[in-house]
Amino acid sequence: MQALGLTGILAAAILAAACGSPAAGSSDSQSQARAEAANPDLDPGTSLGARPAPDFRLTNQFGEPVSLSQFRGKVVILAFVDSQCTTICPLTTASMLQARQLLGAAGDKVQLVGIDANPAATSTADVMAYSRVHGMVNQWDFLTGSIGQLRAAWQAYHVYVQIEAGQVDHTPALFVIDPEGREQKVYLTTMAYANGSQEGEVLASEVASLLPSHPRLASQESLAYISGIGPGTRTTLPTVPSGTAPLGPGRSRLILFFATWLTETSDLRAQMTALDAYAKAASTGGLPPLTAIDEAVTEPSPDSAAAFLRQLGVPLDYPVALDTTGRIADGYGVQDQPWFVLTTASGKIAWHHDGWLSVSALEAAVRKAA
């Protein structure tokens, strides 16, 4: 799935919103506001003027009818999510959940809602499968319906959805709706792995301002820009179940970025075990060694990668490392899962590929690019 920005009035409003700031307060809050406004990977939200949010009646992952109006009295975080997305939607999902968790007990007054934005995957099984692999089954209502019902919802919220060249394009829009059913702000998720918790904090702050109790957030972090760590920098990552994996200049490396939730869209077990053949060829044929990196910031649990490897039943012939901050993915330019990157000994990206490849095709591509 590829994501497109809002158009028309919403796109213009984003520029104005970036210059705004919270109400005057402590120097810390003013510093946070400045950092937020200067962070290119963080959308501070665009005001929608408290206009009435369009109602809808769709079906959730359990096959139950759900309407927006039934959540009056709660703040609703509403996102449009491709039910088979491997790019930006998992980042949206993670920030929604993070926002509610930061509100502590007040999170009970927050309803998370997703509306399917994939015209080719609209069954209840589709929205349940996405919910299951992302640990969201009992955390939200992920809604679907007939194409006519979904298109009506997309149009009501000015969300672009289209399939182009086999890819689902849609506006990565996330709306905050107040307890009276009014649209307060819209946010656009950015393709940046390192700022997911920051986006969750921005959402949580907006939600807290709309709740009668105005709860304090359980924790806060700097909203300043978080730079990626690219192949020109030497670093190490923890590996599962133990140890470390080196990255950066010094030798050519093949890196696979993945996440365990890819089980929804591919046979992840078969793909990962097949790469043992590449690892063996690399050890004897002069190919760059392979390291797999789990994009832990989008996983439903910190133990997801370890649990997946245990379920394989056999050890892999290459290390599996954890990108626990998202900075490696951002520094290596990851735009999808899975994502292959070949780096040179001087710390440059020589080749990248979006999606799975057969081992023979992978070897041929690496030999050509190395």
Mean pLDDT of 316-320: 98
> Are the C-beta atoms of residues 48 and 17 closer than 8 Å to each other?
no
CATH architecture of 235-369: 3-Layer(aba) Sandwich (3.40)
> Are the C-beta atoms of residues 81 and 117 closer than 8 Å to each other?
yes
Mean pLDDT of 118-132: 97
d(Cα 179, Cα 181) in Å, to the nearest integer? Answer: 5
What pLDDT does residue 87 have? 96
What pLDDT does residue 28 have? 63
What pLDDT does residue 12 have? 39
pLDDT 10s digits, 180-237: 999 999 999 999 999 999 999 999 999 999 999 999 999 999 999 999 999 999 999 9
pLDDT 10s digits, 253-294: 999 999 999 999 999 999 999 999 999 999 998 899 999 999
CATH architecture of 2-210: 3-Layer(aba) Sandwich (3.40)
Cα–Cα separations (whole angstroms), residue 339 to 210, 350, 354, 367: 39, 14, 5, 18
Where do the domains of the chain lie?
A: 2-210, 235-369
> What DSSP assignment string belongs to 244-308?
EEEESTTS-EEEEEE-GGGGGTS-HHHHHHHHHHHHHHHHHH-PPPEEEEE-GGGSSSTTHHHHH
What pLDDT does residue 23 have? 38
pLDDT 10s digits, 29-83: 676 777 777 899 999 999 999 999 999 999 999 999 999 999 999 999 999 999 9
Tokens of 13: 């409003």
> Comparing 2-210 with 235-369, is the CATH topology the same?
yes
What percent of the chain is modeled with pLDDT above 90?
86
What pLDDT does residue 285 have? 84
List the single range of 22-36, 97-111, 255-269, 330-344 with lowest mean pLDDT: 22-36
pTM (global) more than 0.85: yes
What percent of the chain is modeled with pLDDT above 70?
92
d(Cα 159, Cα 79) in Å, to the nearest integer? Answer: 10
